[in-house]
Amino acid sequence: MKKELEDKLFNRFKMFRPERSETENLMRFGFSCGDGWFQLIWDLCEKLEKIDKELIATQVKEKYGTLRFYTSGGKEEKWEEVNAAIIEAENLSAHTWEMC
């Protein structure tokens, strides 16, 4: 993803905290996917932020042609709702061209 788009996500959403060590958070390396998923990721982050403000995104990438969005922390009672939102976005990514 272009640095300009990554910066928009990093600046808008507190869940991206690249200051953590590499073993805890891979977001210091940015997003490992194309620009075409920017809006999909943005929408997912807005949903996740409403569900659990304590959630931390640890890695966002493409794998086998679909989005992978990994998290840590957050409230245990919200995990089911968080996972449902992530699965929905991952399923949408299979029908959204990653490159544009």
How does pLDDT run across 45-70, given as a tens digit for each residue? 999 999 999 999 999 999 999 999 99
98 assigned to some structural domain: no
Instruction: Give the chain's length.
Output: 100
Domain that holds residue 58: 3-93
Residue 58: inside a domain: yes
Joined together, the tokens standing for residue 47 give: 């949903």
User: In the prediction, which pLDDT does 76 show?
Assistant: 94
Q: How far apart are CA 54 and CA 57, in angstroms?
A: 10
DSSP class of residue 35? G
pLDDT range class, residue 94, cuts 50, 70, 90: very high
* 39 within 8 A of 81, measured Cβ to Cβ: no
Calpha distance 83→22 (Å, rounded): 23
Per-residue pLDDT, averaged over 88-94, amounts to 95
The number of distinct structural domains making up the chain is 1
Q: Which residues pair with 60 in a beta bridge?
A: 69
Model confidence band, residue 27 (pLDDT cutoffs 50, 70, 90) = confident
The more confident residue out of 91 and 26 is 91
**100 in a domain, yes or no?**
no
Does residue 23 have a pLDDT over 70? Answer: no
What does the pLDDT average to over 9-14? 93
